[in-house]
Structure 1
Amino acid sequence: MAFGAFNHHRNPGPMADINVTPMVDVMLVLLVIFILAAPMFTGSVQLELPKAQAPATPTAPAATVTLSIDGKGKIFWNNDLVAPDALTARLVEASRLDPQPELQLRADKDTRYEVVAQVMAAAQSNGLTKLGFVTDPKEKK
């Protein structure tokens, strides 16, 4: 970057070079500002939360009902064989309990999906809202 020459016989004309010194100064100032401000953004808000004096409410463990379906489509209520019409009556009784029991559905891998869907629909239509599927964990190889 030549700002001038020692030859005074030349006609002085406009300088065609870009002066980047002010731009570098601005960039360095911004860099310092960001370096100083970055730790402020990672901090969390310090709060002093109020203390509660209320004791924890004891919750009774919800009863669970295990519905098992074997590969042939037979339904078991807590390991007792149940006829399809008696299943509806038991589901209605269970839906009236307070708190409602959780229905744990265990189905054999050879069970037809139709039977599982019918049991789920019967539970829902009779007012049971808590339904869970029980599976065995995958064996490690």
Structure 2
Amino acid sequence: MAMNVGDGGGDEDMMDINTTPLIDVLLVLLVMLIITIPLQTHAVKMDMPQPSAATENPPEPNIIQLEVDFDGTVFWNGNAVPTTVDLEERLASAAKLVPQPEIYLRPNRLVEYDYVAKVLSAARRLGLTRIGFVGNEQYME
């Protein structure tokens, strides 16, 4: 095999194109394209309350403390509710109040999830929308 290394005389012009600057420019353009592409973010649409001037000091809503004991017994503000029909009647009457009361649900640490799920589904089915869990610190251990 033979290789042409040139004679060093300089009479011949070099006919090859220098591609190094072209590659540099393409790499810079590629980096700029990657930077300017917007990131794909996963967003959750939420209906946030809008502030209004008419309700600067809204009235304090009633708070209903619902506790579910380890055996499934439901307590309404500390008083035991004997049956699920009685619980549903109380939830239905609370749903009709304006403003709607806040339900603070405190399940016992040992209660089966089925009892809590029944209380939650009854409240949602009857139109209560302001439901929150309290006492979650008992599950941190």
Distance 1:71 1:94, change over 3 A: same
Aligned CA-pair RMSD = 3.4
Match of 2:63 in 1: 64
Superposition deviation, residue 55 in structure 1 = 7.8
Provide TM-score, normalisation by structure 2: 0.60
Superposition deviation, residue 15 in structure 1 = 2.5
Supply the AA of the counterpart residue of 1:121: S
Unaligned runs of 5+ in 1: 31-53
Superposition deviation, residue 135 in structure 1 = 2.7
Match of 2:118 in 1: 118
Identity %: 36
- Equivalenced residue count is 109
Higher CA-based Rg = 1
After TM superposition, where is structure 1 displaced by more than 2 Å over at least 4 residues in a row?
A: 15-20, 135-139
Distance 1:74 1:55, change over 3 A: closer
CA distance in 2, matches of 1:55, 1:118: 38
Distance 1:55 1:115, change over 3 A: closer
